[in-house]
Every structure is written in structure tokens, then in C-alpha cells.
Amino acid sequence: MTLSRLILETGMGNDLYGEDYTKAACRAVQDALHHSSLTLFRSLNLDSKKMEVKVTIGIAKPDEVDADKVKNILPHGVISVTVVRGGLNASDEENDTVSIIATAAIEAFYEIDKQDFKKTI
């Protein structure tokens, strides 16, 4: 049995005026999540509780992200959240505002025994 990666989902989120890094990170995660659905859990009767979910957030100020709030968005699996320096802060000096852009990568892993499945073409 090996832990196989099923999917990498990517997303982007921002907080344009509030300078809320957690909000931007949460939006990035929502964006990443809601462009796909892992239908195999239903189709193949797998247990989504056994899925491992690795979330990586890229953002300009990683220390300002409340990782627990990010973690609470994810509906299934054993979740880990890592926040690293990345994303982008686009500042508008003229209007004294900074827009925070966060990027999210969500990887889902599952222990699959290849012998349990056979293609039938």
C-alpha cells in the first residue's frame, strides 16, 4: 500500500482593502476547492476520512495567517496547513492601500492498493 497523490488543486484569493491575510488565504482555499470534486470517493466507496489533505498557502506575511481558520474550511480528511512566504502584495501608494493576494495549493493523498482495482476496457 502506498500513499498516492490523487490531485493537486490550485487557487487564488485576495483581500483588496482590508489587509486581512487570513481572509485572503481562506478565499484562495475556497477557490482551489470549488473547481473540482473528487467523485471517486462515492464511485469507489472509499472513506474520505482516510484522505490526507496537505494545504500550502503562499502569502506575503505568513505569520499573519490564522492557520486554524484555514484548516476549518476543509470538509474532509486529515488536514495539515503550511503557510510560506509567497503570494503577492500589490500596493497602491497613491491611494495608500495594499491588496493581498494569496495562492493556495491543496494536495489530496489516499492509500490505494493497486491490486484492488482493475481496468476493464
Contacts with other proteins by CB under 8 A lie at 4-11, 32, 34-40, 42-45, 110, 112, 114-121
- Residue 87 backbone class (left: φ over 0; alpha: ψ -120 to 50; beta: rest): left
Nearer to other proteins, 4 or 97 (CB): 4
> Cα dihedral sign for 54, 76, 7, 67?
negative
Nearer to other proteins, 9 or 15 (CB): 9
- What gap in Å lies between CA 60 and CA 57, rounded to an integer? 10
Nearer to other proteins, 40 or 67 (CB): 40
Compute the least distance from the CB of residue 86 to other proteins, in Å.
17
